[in-house]
A and B are shown apart, each in its own frame.
Chain A
Amino acid sequence: MYDLIVIGGGPAGLAAACSAWDNGLRSILIVERDRELGGILNQCIHNGFGLTRFKEELTGPEYAHRFVELLSRTGVEARTDTMVLEVTLDLRVHMTGPETGYRVEEAKSVILAMGCRERTRGAIGIPGTRPAGVFTAGAAQRYVNVEGWLPGRRVVILGSGDIGLIMARRMTMEGAKVLACVEVMPYSGGLTRNIVQCLEDFDIPLYLSHTVTDIRGGDRVEQVVVSRVDENRRPIPGTEMLFDCDTLLLSVGLIPENELSERAGVEIDPRTKGPAVYENMETSLPGVFSCGNVTHVHDLVDFVSAESERAGAAAARFVLNGPAAGEPIALQNGFGVSYTVPQRVRPGNVEKAFNVFFRVNRNFGKSEIVVSRGETDLCRFKRDRLAPGEMENITVPVKLLEGASGPITVAVREV
């Protein structure tokens, strides 16, 4: 029996396993479905990773390499090319791979670190014909950066998620013409710095409050129609723009990949589409933890690593010291907030302070983030601006919770 089985060998799984080892667990297994560790970082060849974690500007493969190196100094076992099929309530992990065949491994704790996947054309229902040339941005990224194929010459990008922005620059630098980036919301979904260095640097226009309303072409994309949308995101007739192109890239959001979690009976938060977690990243199932993009979609891998290190430490504590104690307090969305992670806090399990990660549901100027419990304001955090594309993080001292009752609310107050 393993102390810990980590499902997924991307940045979340690697950091969680290293941290569990550092916190005293000695029999740890990582199960990874790809042929090597590192996950999606291996195809993110641009730089800008690791400024928080390593105080250096690294590319994705380099960031992954750092963690693989750290892992190699531990006794953690990694099984690649192996797919987890099921996790059961009694913490048996069913898996299959070409070398080991079908195996069932038992564990004292499990960390869910399966990451997320991209929304596709089907998920957003774009009308039109079904020609070749419609890719998710991440698929195009793999073709260009790993396989060495340029998937198109004249490109329109739908959605302003970070991967789409990064691919706008990458395909331009490889000789393609990126005609436009089209975003249905009135604000960008990606980081401001990516708008600047990937679109503005290359004079690629960004059409906010616009969407693709038709895809035309037989065997291959020949044209896409872009229309302006009203405040309810409905296309406005008469605003159509035609783009002659051979490729449409979709960067329209990421969905945590929770089939295994759901089947195991883990409670899923409909806001994050990931497991609802306590302050230590434990899910509704005791001994099952969740971290990284399977829990909520992050902007930055540095924060994935930090969160996963907390999950690894918590799994170690669970195995070595037993279950966490304390009555949970729920966290809820206040004005302007679309979700919080964690969803529940057990003050008895917090030493000094706990972190709350959340996103706002629109752009805000100078604001205060107000944390309250019942009628009592607990603390405030000042921000110059808030944007949905940028995850927020606050640290709440646990002793502030004393003397108030009811759920904790996180809200935005524009000042």
Chain B
Amino acid sequence: MRELVCIVCPRGCHMKVDDELNVSGNFCPRGASYAKAELTHPTRVVTSTVRIKGARYPRCPVKTAAPVPKERVGDVMAEIAKVEISAPVRVGDTVIEDVCGTGAAVVATRELT
């Protein structure tokens, strides 16, 4: 039996998961899938910034468009740190297509001109 707090939404359900991966204490189905993933192959959406030239500010916020395996977060951060883009950029523009072979794109989260 494992206990964990759901991080999917701010409700923060306190959940219990047994050895057969039966989840209890979750308010919604997202909690159950989070709990199962967390105990088998945990993932995270990575948010960070990249350098941007010619914009109002020197950094543009980005995120992975899908969750990536938790153990790859460090690699993804290192890859994101290498990138420099140029203005203008729009929300959702791809910054890295398939980051570290995770299958997830890194996309801009802010419009900067």
Contact = CB atoms under 8 A, between A and B. Distances in A.
A338 B47 CA distance: 35
Interface string A377-395: 0000000110000100000
B47 A46 contact: yes
Contacts of A300: 10
Contacts, number: 79
A35 B9 contact: no
B24 interface: no
Given A51-B10, A192-B5, A300-B10, A61 B49 contact: no
Contact of A45 (B8, B49, B51, B58): B49
Interface residues of A, number: 32
A45 B107 CA distance: 12
Given A42-B110, A45-B109, A61-B110, A197 B7 contact: yes
Interface string A126-158: 000000000000000000111110000000000
A65 interface: yes
Contact of A148 (B5, B14, B49, B109): B49
A357 to B, nearest CB: 14
A407 interface: no
Nearest to B50: A148
Nearest to A195: B5
Given A42-B110, A62-B91, A193-B5, A146 B59 contact: yes
Interface string A269-301: 000000000000000000000000000000110
Given A45-B48, A196-B5, A35 B56 contact: yes
B47 A47 contact: yes
Contacts of B51: 148
B39 interface: no
B35 interface: no
B94 to A, nearest CB: 15
A148 B58 contact: yes
B57 A147 contact: yes
22 contacts: A45-B49, A45-B61, A45-B109, A45-B110, A47-B45, A51-B8, A52-B9, A57-B8, A57-B45, A61-B91, A61-B109, A61-B110, A62-B110, A145-B49, A148-B51, A173-B73, A193-B5, A193-B10, A195-B5, A196-B4, A196-B12, A385-B14
Interface of B: 4-10, 12, 14, 44-45, 47-49, 51, 56-59, 61, 63, 73, 77, 91, 109-111
Q: Which 6 A-B pairs have the closest CB atoms?
A: A61-B110, A45-B61, A192-B12, A148-B59, A193-B7, A193-B12
Interface of A: 35-36, 42, 45-48, 51-52, 57, 59, 61-62, 65, 144-148, 173-174, 191-193, 195-197, 299-300, 384-385, 390
